[in-house]
Copies of this chain bind each other. A is one copy, B any other.
Amino acid sequence: MSVSTRDRILDAAERLFAEQGFHLTTLRQITQSADANLASVNYYFGSKQELIRAIFRRRLDALNAARLERLDATERQTSRPDLEAVLEAFVEPALEFTRGGDAEGQRFMQLLLRAFADRDAALHAAMRQEYAHVMRRFADAVSNALPDADPGRLRHQLDFIVGALTLTMAESALKDTRIIAAELVQFAAAGLRGSLENRIPESARRTLEATS
């Protein structure tokens, strides 16, 4: 029993939230699974809502720190990392989360997906803020690898990648994730490079003109 009650609650809650969702998971389930008293959640975290935020802060900090560290390492090796290397620094830490332990990381990916789906404005803003720091770093790195890219579009494109990453990681079976991550990096790199041609498909332009 070297782990504190607080940590046991965090672990149990994270697992249950990922499996069942936030609202379906009850404090009674959490405390029972953590071998703690029902009142201890409110004692340590104040409320259920604040427990959720604490869980997110813990994992998101770790994930984003790993991403930045990986990007730092790449930039230390080469002053001008190519596009694939930058994308890997973003994608692979998420992948390693999925691989560590047994399915623990995949659960967190599902948790992340739930956070995207939820309309909790406070949680959403906190996540965006937590991400903003990292996104700016990666946007710079991509700009560096792709000097002619349009910065305005880049933000949208990074959102595409986050969406593809989050949804596929949360959905896919465990053993496939390595291959999928490699494919995603390749796909995203080609997508980013392809936008350089700045070619708006004719049919899309047609649609845009028809409605403006």
**A125 at the binding interface (Cβ < 8 Å):** no
Question: Which of A19, A23, A92, A168 has the most B CB atoms < 10 Å from its CB?
Answer: A168
**How many monomers of this chain does the complex have?**
2
**A195 at the binding interface (Cβ < 8 Å):** yes
A interface: dominant SS: helix
- The chain B residue with its CB closest to the CB of A85 is B203
- Tell me the residues in window 106-145 of chain A with beta carbons closer than 8 Å to chain B beta carbons: 110, 113-114, 116-119
Chain B residues positioned under 8 Å from A94 (CB to CB): none
- Contacting pair A171 B159 (CB below 8 A): yes
Chain B residues positioned under 8 Å from A5 (CB to CB): none
Looking at A46-54, A55-63, A180-188, the stretch in contact with chain B turns out to be A180-188
**Given that A187-B160, A189-B201 are known contacts, is A170 also in contact with B116, CB under 8 Å in the complex?**
yes
Residue total for A at the interface (Cβ-Cβ under 8 A):
61
- Tell me the residues in window 134-180 of chain A with beta carbons closer than 8 Å to chain B beta carbons: 153, 156-157, 159-168, 170-171, 178-180
- Give the shortest distance, in Å, between A178 (CB) and chain B (any CB): 6
**Given that A116-B170, A163-B167, A171-B159 are known contacts, is A204 also in contact with B190, CB under 8 Å in the complex?**
no
Chain B residues positioned under 8 Å from A79 (CB to CB): none
Chain B residues positioned under 8 Å from A200 (CB to CB): 182, 186
Assembly CA distance A177 to B197 (angstroms)? 21
- A residues in contact (CB < 8 Å) with B: 19-21, 23-24, 82, 84-85, 88, 92, 110, 113-114, 116-119, 153, 156-157, 159-168, 170-171, 178-195, 197, 199-205, 207-208, 211
Query: Given contacts A157-B183, A178-B211, A182-B200, could you give 20 more A-B pairs where the C-beta distance is less than 8 Å?
Result: A19-B119, A23-B23, A23-B24, A84-B204, A85-B203, A88-B203, A88-B204, A110-B117, A110-B119, A156-B180, A159-B168, A159-B171, A160-B164, A163-B163, A163-B166, A185-B204, A186-B194, A189-B201, A190-B193, A191-B191
